[in-house]
Structure 1
Amino acid sequence: MSRTRIRAITSGAAAALLAAALTGCAGWGGGGGGSDDANSIDVLMVNNPQMIDLQRLTADNFTARTGIRVNFTVLPENDVRDKISQEFSSQAGQYDVASLSNFEIPIYAKSEWIAPLDPYVAADAAFDQADILPPMTESLTAEDGKLYGEPFYGESSFLMYRKDVLDAQGVEMPAKPTWQQVAAIAAQVDGKQPGMAGICLRGQPGWGQIFAPLTTVVNTFGGTWFDIDWNAKVDAPEFKQATQFYVDLVRAHGEVGAPQAGFTECLNNLMQGNVAMWYDATSAAGSLEAADSPVKGKIGYAAAPVEKTASSGWLYAWSWSIQQASEKKDNAWKFISWASGREYEELVGAQLGWSRVPAGKRASTYDNPDYLKEASAFAAPTEQAISSADPRNPGVQPRPAIGIQFVDIPEFTDLGTQVSQYVSSAIAGQMTVDEALERGQPLADDVAERYRSRENG
């Protein structure tokens, strides 16, 4: 019996699940895609700042060199995920390339919505796939062993802390702390400066909010959402212990308004001096070390805290994939090779500044003296966090699906969000952790039963 045993879901079912889970408010973007011009491609992408930089740089650089015109459709995250799901499930070929995360790519690959990239990688030595950080390549590789995405930028997670605040209390942060050590430090520094809590941890409901950090805590405490045989483990002792620890820590020494705090709120809390520590995405470091940041130079960075595992950082990447129905795959690959290439990073560094480089994907980035000069405080911890992430083995037991801070199945978006609402309520003191997870267990078991039925069918 293979370790990863999810059977491919039908395209229609995947489309419905993803559309239902990932829809959002109406956004902005450009045109419809599907140009008849053989020398143009259509790209559907998220409106993150790094993508907007790419859009601005494409015509004068990529198009000028290759003659390939790129038509961009740019939308906010929820909207772009919804539109990509609809477009790629229909296989109409309206868009050649889309920005997908390492959550969607293995799912889309199973449904044969996206094309394998291995032939292009093999023929394009200049792209240098070996330079892509191995966990990124692993997370974008499907069950069939083929590569379906190339990362544009990536992140893991680590612990950020105020060096001056810890120093004032005579506290030394270990380079690789345990969660018990972090809890002890949070207690020691809590309230030592007026209005400053010990730590910020996300409490806002959402599969990509509270359960991004919390699932990594579950992993390292020995828990899992599902075991290898698709048995739900949400109310198992290890899952309960991890969740109880997290809830107790944020209730005792966490930020004000924790049940509503997500990434943005915690970032603001650390920058404004409201908390002494924060466990979250490595991508936050760029804001903390920006020229106008009030905490620039005051932040230390340590590995994601652990308990039973050697590492626990998550893994996330906005990446490029080619629609299977595209008739312009060769030109689509040329764009991807450029946008995810070393040359593009150097272009951004030279024209826009090294702090805007879409990092977190290539080993060479962390050897580049120009980048290191700008990102010296956090470059090495970020690279180490990403390199030590193991998307196929993030805990102490085999898993039925790839993923560190998520379970890579379409149903997880809805499941994680529903259970997160109960855990957030526990942080708010409205129910106990046991009650929260006892409500979550049957929801997880409903999902698990679908996969057990498919395997036994």
Structure 2
Amino acid sequence: MTRTMRALLGASALCSAAVAAHAQDTTLTIATVNNGDMIRMQGLTDDFTEQHPDIALEWVTLEENVLRSRVTQDIATQGGQFDVLTIGNYEVPIWANQDWLLPLEGMPEDYNADDILPAIAGGLSVDDTLYAAPFYGESAMVMYRTDLADEAGVEIPDQPTWDDIRTAAEAMTDQDAGIYGICLRGKAGWGENMAFLTAMANSYGARWFDTEWQAQFDSPEWTEAVNDYLTMMNEYGPPGASSNGFNENLSLFQQGKCGMWIDATVAASFVTDPEDSTVADSVGFAQFPNKDGVDNHGNWLWSWNLAIPSSTDAPEAAKAFVAWATSQAYTDMVAEEEGWAAAPPGTRTSLYENEEYQKAAPFAEMTLNSINAVDTNAPSVQEIPYTGAQFVAIPEFQGIGTAVGQQFSAALAGQVSAEQALQNAQTSTQREIDRAGYGE
């Protein structure tokens, strides 16, 4: 039985126990995403309930797009359905400024908030006050099969260009053997395919908007980036890629079906885990590619964080859980249970100073360097009126980004041409940004 399966069974048991735990004083309802690190956390929460026998935990575990929709609807209406939310660094400052989140003040003395990586903490703070605690942080990078690259006679440098990636994808593709040279996100969503495509477009020198808030999908940079993405995926990618997001591509890579996968750095521990990955001993890493002549390797910065909605009726219990799940002690517990390579990455300076972690995680340096290289104030090499990284940090981006993602997913599925998808993206984006009053 794999670790992920054990965690899932443990999480299921915890959910059942929570429902039955009527004798406990407080029940926290926690909304979270169905990825490996969060599933692992659910399997380890006996430690929390032993320390807090008066608090029961009830989990609502959802696919990424569904999670975003559910928690956004609940918090915007002050529905009070959840006591702890799993949200990204996109939502935190926007929601904090709406007074929808409680500040994480008065955390336990041993929590050591100063240990959180500055790049991550900065995205979760408003006026130097933390409004969410990072469970893990990430940038993006290339993960590739070193054995296939050697067999194909191609080299993937530490800082590849997109020409390097396309050459390697072609060389490693063996469709008769069920091996695809490259796996990339195709599932529609502002945080699914548009996270990847925005980072890719940034690396081509593109931008979402010019300084007058005019959409830029009719620019040469966006046109080239989208056409290159579609060409690579159609020629060297897996079938049905328009339905593949992070989890689907992770599974394909672990099964040995992808020569390369360009995605979040957090995936590194899962593709190198011999219990879950058939290619664990043959994985190499490289920086997110750039277009030759453009000094921008994607500019991707994300963290999944635990936050407390202001509508909760159990703020102190919720704070106790957030402190437990994002603490240094939790990291140590994961390392003890599953090894240092499985520790939640990208959140704490102390983890990257830990020699045991550095020894166990060959991806540690690449992850830290990728995170530290991100400048959310300048995701594009061109002048822009917004901040962000693989997203635009405005409230309207959830709707705009998802609508654009649907266009590009349809193009990947062959339902519309690249030209039509870009034109539709240009029209719909400009309409919504004008309606919201930007650029006036």
- Category of TM-score, reference length = shorter chain: 0.7 to 0.9
Q: Distance in 2 between matches of 1:63 and 1:289?
A: 31
The residue identity in structure 1 corresponding to 2:217 is V
Equivalent residue, structure 1, for 2:98? 111
Q: Compared with structure 1, are the counterparts of its residues 54 and 430 closer, same or farther at alpha carbon in structure 2 (3 Å cutoff)?
A: closer
Alpha-carbon contact 2:30-2:82 (below 8 Å) kept: yes
Q: Compared with structure 1, are the counterparts of its residues 429 and 99 closer, same or farther at alpha carbon in structure 2 (3 Å cutoff)?
A: closer
Structure 1: 5+ residue runs without aligned partners? 1-27
Q: CA deviation at 1:326?
A: 4.8
Q: Distance in 2 between matches of 1:98 and 1:428?
A: 33
The residue identity in structure 2 corresponding to 1:324 is S
> TM-score, structure 2 length as denominator?
0.83
Q: Compared with structure 1, are the counterparts of its residues 351 and 263 closer, same or farther at alpha carbon in structure 2 (3 Å cutoff)?
A: closer
Q: Distance in 2 between matches of 1:82 and 1:447?
A: 19
SS at structure 2 position matched to 1:120: coil
Match of 2:330 among 335, 341, 344: 344
- Match status 1:297 vs 2:281: yes
- Match status 1:128 vs 2:112: yes
Q: Distance in 1 between matches of 2:270 and 2:424?
A: 38
Match of 1:445 among 401, 426, 430: 430
**Cα offsets for 1:386-419 (capped at 9, x unmatched):** 2323333221134444432222334333333332
RMSD: 3.2
Equivalent residue, structure 2, for 1:365? 351
Q: CA deviation at 1:337?
A: 2.5
**Cα offsets for 1:113-142 (capped at 9, x unmatched):** 01233x436xx6633333212221122234
Q: Distance in 1 between matches of 2:81 and 2:321?
A: 16
Alpha-carbon contact 1:315-1:386 (below 8 Å) kept: yes
Q: Distance in 1 between matches of 2:383 and 2:28?
A: 39
The residue identity in structure 1 corresponding to 2:204 is F
The residue identity in structure 1 corresponding to 2:101 is I
Q: Distance in 2 between matches of 1:352 and 1:82?
A: 32
Q: Distance in 1 between matches of 2:383 and 2:109?
A: 35
Q: CA deviation at 1:198?
A: 2.5
**Cα offsets for 1:410-443 (capped at 9, x unmatched):** 4333333332333233334444322211111110
Alpha-carbon contact 2:296-2:381 (below 8 Å) kept: no
Q: CA deviation at 1:79?
A: 5.0
- Match status 1:221 vs 2:204: yes
> TM-score, structure 1 length as denominator?
0.80
Match of 1:403 among 372, 388, 400: 388
Q: CA deviation at 1:41?
A: 6.7
Alpha-carbon contact 2:55-2:317 (below 8 Å) kept: no
SS at structure 2 position matched to 1:312: coil
**Cα offsets for 1:300-355 (capped at 9, x unmatched):** 01011113234325222221222235565455434323321111111222235445
Q: Distance in 1 between matches of 2:254 and 2:262?
A: 14
- Match status 1:163 vs 2:146: yes
- Match status 1:45 vs 2:31: yes
Q: CA deviation at 1:203?
A: 2.8
Q: Distance in 1 between matches of 2:23 and 2:295?
A: 52
Q: Distance in 1 between matches of 2:49 and 2:371?
A: 32
Q: CA deviation at 1:176?
A: 1.1
Q: Compared with structure 1, are the counterparts of its residues 92 and 440 closer, same or farther at alpha carbon in structure 2 (3 Å cutoff)?
A: closer
Alpha-carbon contact 1:230-1:451 (below 8 Å) kept: no
SS at structure 2 position matched to 1:452: coil
Q: Distance in 1 between matches of 2:407 and 2:74?
A: 34
The residue identity in structure 1 corresponding to 2:333 is L
Q: CA deviation at 1:175?
A: 0.6
SS at structure 1 position matched to 2:281: coil
Q: Compared with structure 1, are the counterparts of its residues 280 and 197 closer, same or farther at alpha carbon in structure 2 (3 Å cutoff)?
A: same
Equivalent residue, structure 1, for 2:160? 177
Alpha-carbon contact 1:45-1:51 (below 8 Å) kept: no
Q: Distance in 2 between matches of 1:389 and 1:409?
A: 19
- Match status 1:232 vs 2:215: yes
Structure 2: 5+ residue runs without aligned partners? 1-13
Alignment identity in percent? Answer: 36
Alpha-carbon contact 2:28-2:314 (below 8 Å) kept: no
Equivalent residue, structure 2, for 1:22? none
Q: CA deviation at 1:52?
A: 4.5
**Cα offsets for 1:193-214 (capped at 9, x unmatched):** 8443332222333333322211
- Match status 1:380 vs 2:362: no
Q: Compared with structure 1, are the counterparts of its residues 195 and 128 closer, same or farther at alpha carbon in structure 2 (3 Å cutoff)?
A: same
SS at structure 2 position matched to 1:358: coil
Equivalent residue, structure 2, for 1:5? none
Equivalent residue, structure 1, for 2:310? 324
Q: CA deviation at 1:371?
A: 3.4
Match of 1:72 among 58, 65, 75: 58
Q: Compared with structure 1, are the counterparts of its residues 82 and 435 closer, same or farther at alpha carbon in structure 2 (3 Å cutoff)?
A: closer
**Cα offsets for 1:356-382 (capped at 9, x unmatched):** 4322211222333443444x2322222
Map 1:411-430 onto structure 2 (within 5 A): 411-430=396-415
Q: Distance in 2 between matches of 1:204 and 1:92?
A: 29
What number of residue pairs does the alignment pair up? Answer: 419
Alpha-carbon contact 2:188-2:402 (below 8 Å) kept: yes
Alpha-carbon contact 1:406-1:412 (below 8 Å) kept: yes
Alpha-carbon contact 2:296-2:380 (below 8 Å) kept: no
